[in-house]
Amino acid sequence: MATSIRLFVDAALSEGAELPAREGQAHYLSGVLRRGRGDPVVLFNGRDGEWAGEIEAVGKHRATFRATALLRPQSAEPGPWLVFGLLKRDTTDLVVQKATELGAARILPVLTAHGQAHRVNLDRLRAIAMEAAEQCERLTIPDVAEPLNLPELLSNWPADRTLAAAVERIGDAPFPARQGGLLVGPEGGFSAAELDALRRHAFVEPVTLGPRILRAETAAIAGLTLLQVGNIQARAFPI
């Protein structure tokens, strides 16, 4: 019997419900995986939990599924928000993928002085987040927001949510991990004006990720891990 593949769907899930595949899933199932009618699938939609199901029909362009049994009820998946200075396209894709795997609840690209000013394809980034959620068995998909410039993001940030800003060469003092938000700059770091802007907001807590200068994508992965693992210490010191 074929191994179940896990798929995100848009329609409501309930026992016996028949629901359509999303665009591209029919080709993936029939043309890539060679799956057919009756093969098992696991389905989730971010609202109704995770369901066992099967392929009801599949062709080159269309497929339908039938949900058969609830595997996991829907539950909250609280996680940190990741704010990151835009990088090159492939690196931005990697950050979105890994942030999803590491449990980020929101992903917020930000425009910075030293960042990449390329056009952002939000549909592409949201598809990457969806595929990562399918793979890592999340019940939800993180929101991938429209890019904002850094001052605009700071002015709209919730004052009760800590924003840990990863800043290079700022000293060495530990602080407990927390589940607020993480800000990672682009390659080249923050400008002097951006550092001044960060200082003016009480919710910003500058942190260091260690003695080495990390690539931006490495900093995002390391920082999200530190924010989520309660017995691991990150380090903080005033800018």
Residues 74-127 have pLDDT tens digits of 998 889 999 999 999 999 999 999 999 999 999 999 999 888 777 789 999 999
- Specify the pLDDT at position 170: 58
- Give percent of the chain above pLDDT 70: 89
Segment 185-197 shows an average pLDDT of 90
Is 160 found in the same domain as 108? yes
Residue 182's pLDDT is 93
For 117-173, how does the pLDDT look when each residue is reduced to its tens digit (9 = 90+)? 777 899 999 999 999 999 999 999 999 999 999 999 999 999 889 999 988 665 553
Do 219 and 125 lie in one domain? The reply is yes
Residues 60 and 36 in one domain: yes
- CA distances from residue 224 to 13, 98, 208 in whole angstroms, order as listed: 31, 9, 13
In which domain, by residue range, is 52 found? 5-72
- Which neighbouring-strand residues pair with 175? 234
Q: How many domains does the chain have?
A: 2
Count of CB atoms within 10 A of residue 40's CB?
15
Answer yes or no: are the C-beta atoms of 225 and 174 closer than 8 Å. Answer: no
State whether 85 and 41 are in the same domain. no
Closest CA to 58 of 5, 12, 14: 5
| Closest to 62 (Cα-Cα) out of 28, 16, 12 | 28
Contact between 170 and 159 (Cβ < 8 Å): no
User: Which pairing describes strands 234-236 and 143-144: parallel, antiparallel, or unpaired?
Assistant: unpaired
- Write down which residue in 38, 72, 106 finishes a domain: 72
Same domain, yes or no, for 92 and 66? no
What is the edge-to-edge ordering of all strands in the sheet holding 40-44? 5-8, 40-44, 50-58, 63-72, 18-20
| CATH number of the domain residue 43 falls in | 2.40.240.20
18-20 and 50-58 beta bridge pairing: unpaired
Residues 103 and 210 grouped into a single domain: yes
pLDDT exceeds cutoff 80 at 177:
no
Q: Which of 28, 44, 72 is the last residue of a domain?
A: 72
Please say if the pLDDT value at position 187 is more than 90. Answer: no
Q: Find the DSSP H helices in the chain.
A: 25-27, 89-101, 122-136, 150-156, 192-199, 216-228
Domain with residue 185: its CATH number is 3.40.1280.10
Q: Tell me, yes or no, whether 147 and 186 share the same domain.
A: yes
> CB count, 10 Å around CB of 118?
11
Could you say which of 72, 98, 113 is where a domain stops?
A: 72
